[in-house]
Amino acid sequence: MYNKIKNEHGSAILVAMMLLLMMTVVSFSMFSVSSDDVSISSNSNNMTKAFYSSEAGLALAKSMLWSDYVEWGSTNPQKIAGQTGNRATYQKYLDNLGLTDNTTSTLYSSFDLGGGQSVEKVSVTRTDVTGTTLLSVSSTGSALDGSQNTISAQLRVEGEAFKGFEFAILANNINCIMCHARIDNVDRVYNTDPTKEGTYDRVKVASLESMLIRDTKADSYVAGTIYTRGNVTDKAGNLITNLSPTGAGVEGYAINASDGKIQEPLTSVNLSVATGSPLPQNGNLYLNYPTEQGNMTDGILPTEFPPPFPDGNGNKIVDDAEFDEIAIGANGGISGGIIYGVQSNQTYNSGALPSSGNETSVNGTYSGNLILVGTDANPIDLSGDIAVDGDVVIQGKVIGTGQIYARGNVYITGDLTYADGTNNGNRTFGTSANGRQNALSIAAGKNVMVGDYLTPKKGDHTNISDNDPGNLSGGEMFSFTQSEMTLFNRSEWTKTQEFLPDANGGLVPNGTYDPSYQPRYYVMNEGDPVYIFNKNYTDKKGKAKGTYWDPSSNSWQVKEHASSYDLSVLTKLNAGTPALSGASISTLSTTSNWISPQNLKSMWVANDAARPSGQEFKIDGQIYTSNSIFALTRKASNTLGKMTINGSIVAADVGVLVGGGLNLHYDQRLKTFLNIKDDSKVLLVQTSWYSE
């Protein structure tokens, strides 16, 4: 089908000619004056020529299948020539070549390489699977005497490794986090060796769409670098360009401009906007950081959050086949701690965590919901990847190294910490008393809730029945979680609207409108309405008091958030209405309500009651989802509103309410633990090669 070589294949032909030149050098070195040796040398020479002919055919195939794709430009789907695109653009490119899924096609046949050598045939079989396009290439080359050689190669075109785990905090929108926060390197925090001071890498914090700083008293410090895209605003929506104490109250700790190491002893410095073209490296603040990878001179900042389970059909829901794609590679296990499984058709009717398990271990995958509890004497013992086909409830001590992929939600009901050892009274972070490494990564197909996400504003956090029901319309107070969800829902809704309300009650064009965008909305429980904080309202004098879209700053203005089910400031989209057609709905409650909200809250209440006053909520590990992470500690609780995380939090949407202060210590050991592929940027990988 493709027996004519186009001019743009010149680079591949050059490669083929170089291979032939190498072959010629090899053949001359094998010359012998003996007649017997001449015969042997001739046979070997011909086989070598055939081998390099087949190699030349493989080089031509790679040029067509990849190099030409990189230079290919397209408007539907969008693909800029000279840049790699996403999997959709690559599959469209193959379609345009006539290389369709589950078919075998001939790329070249009888292509003369000169000197009696030729590429007899190059064929490719394309197979699309979840998250990957597989290309099986076969190339047959020949020499003048008819000797032939065939090379087979397996190629994979898939998303490149997600770079988001290089950040302590990464989210589309950051608001409440940057208030009384200390963000640092975990190795530096737990270091007890004075000779290592000044050797620790800076940490990174980034927002992809917006960052909200509440006021000039944010009192937050970052031992490293902040990156933003979009706008940085105060709670009224006013743009902030100065994050120093006089601007927003966010400061940095000094880092070396030459190598990005944290200077010790710690020295607070104002954040200074990095400028220039190209941008300098190792700055402490980058506003409107570039989206083109070639311009990201201070490191890669992703443009989106790929799901932990490949989303082959793009519906933003983990389907059976997509779960299986991860489950098939899950070969780890859980062999310690209390392991309690709840099948999908069963419920857990207790308000207390189980004191004994009904499973002795988990090997690779678990079909159903899982409750994991670790104690000092019997920690949750992890080893490798574990895939759970349901929700996960987890709390307590953890030993070992493992990754938990949960298809549903993850609920962290109390401290989740490593069973580390001590040395002279100091914690040996990430290492147990017997020298075993402790490290945990959690990835959720839906959402992650850390602490009590249910109690409404001014509610009783000790009353298990005082919960946000997720569906009211009379102006009742709702939870911090619902308040954040109305903002996250607004961000999704905005992308679907061609026009948005302005300050005068009119409509203005929306520059972020995408008619093909499939929104993902959050609700408390299955069947709840979707609440969106986007109403514009006025006072008696006609002055705008609600939210409105400001085209000049490309952001919503005036009011920070809603705090009640007040339909004068909320849009309510009932389940099943045409406005939600095609949207993905992500629920925070357990799947099929296998644990009721009251029983979940009872677990948090019990954990807080057993906690000494002033002891912060503690999490060791990395938490990831392409949906939302909610983390809460209230000043009225025994935590006094304090939380310490030794790891990282990375998610599309992050809602954190830590009234007494957040200490987040980034653990760079975990940046390669989760195998998350970013399908927005594909790459070619050769997985096997053999000669016949």
Strand 231-233, strand 421-423: pairing: unpaired
> What letter does residue 455 receive in the DSSP assignment?
P
Query: Which pLDDT score, from 0 to 100, does residue 32 have?
Result: 39
Q: How confident is the model at residue 473 (pLDDT cuts 50, 70, 90)?
A: confident
Task: Give the mean model confidence (pLDDT) for residues 522-541.
Answer: 81
- 616-644 pLDDT per residue, tens: 999 999 999 999 999 999 999 999 999 99
- 217-243 pLDDT per residue, tens: 668 899 999 999 987 877 666 777 777
Structure tokens at 204: 């990174």
Question: What length is written for the chain?
Answer: 692
**In what helix (H) or strand (E) does residue 633 lie, and over which residues does it extend?**
strand 617-633
Is pLDDT of 611 > 80?
Answer: yes
Q: How confident is the model at residue 355 (pLDDT cuts 50, 70, 90)?
A: very high
Give 631's strand partners: 450, 656
List the one residue out of 116, 112, 167 whose CA is nearest residue 622: 167
Determine contact, residues 285/226, Cβ cutoff 8 Å. Answer: yes
Distance between CA atoms of residues 544 and 219, nearest Å: 31
- Considering the chain, what percentage of its residues have pLDDT values greater than 90? 65
Query: Which pLDDT score, from 0 to 100, does residue 230 have?
Result: 81
* Of 217-226, 356-365, 436-445, 628-637, the least confident: 217-226
Determine contact, residues 500/549, Cβ cutoff 8 Å. Answer: yes
Query: Which pLDDT score, from 0 to 100, does residue 16 have?
Result: 53
* Of 83-87, 163-167, 315-319, the least confident: 83-87
Query: Which pLDDT score, from 0 to 100, does residue 108 have?
Result: 92
Q: How confident is the model at residue 555 (pLDDT cuts 50, 70, 90)?
A: confident
Strand 181-185, strand 530-533: pairing: unpaired
**In what helix (H) or strand (E) does residue 37 lie, and over which residues does it extend?**
helix 35-62
- 378-393 pLDDT per residue, tens: 999 999 999 999 999 9
Is pLDDT of 692 > 90?
Answer: no
Report domain extents, the chain: 7-162+683-691, 307-453+588-675, 480-585
545 or 582: which carries more pLDDT confidence? 582
| Residue 33: other Cβ atoms inside 10 A | 6
List the one residue out of 513, 518, 515, 517 whose CA is nearest residue 500: 513
The chain-wide mean pLDDT, for the chain, equals 88
Residue type, 547: T
3-state per-residue secondary structure call for 51-120: HHHHHHHHHHHHHHHHHHHHHCCEECCEECCCCCCCHHHHHHHHHHHCCCCCEEEEEEEEEEEECCEEEE
SS3 575: coil
Q: How confident is the model at residue 38 (pLDDT cuts 50, 70, 90)?
A: very low
Task: Give the mean model confidence (pLDDT) for residues 424-439.
Answer: 97
Q: How confident is the model at residue 29 (pLDDT cuts 50, 70, 90)?
A: very low
Q: What is the pTM (predicted TM-score) of this model?
A: 0.86
Query: Which pLDDT score, from 0 to 100, does residue 236 have?
Result: 65
- Considering the chain, what percentage of its residues have pLDDT values greater than 70? 89
Is pLDDT of 653 > 90?
Answer: yes
Residue 19 has phi, psi (to 5 degrees) of -60, -40
Query: Which pLDDT score, from 0 to 100, does residue 154 have?
Result: 94
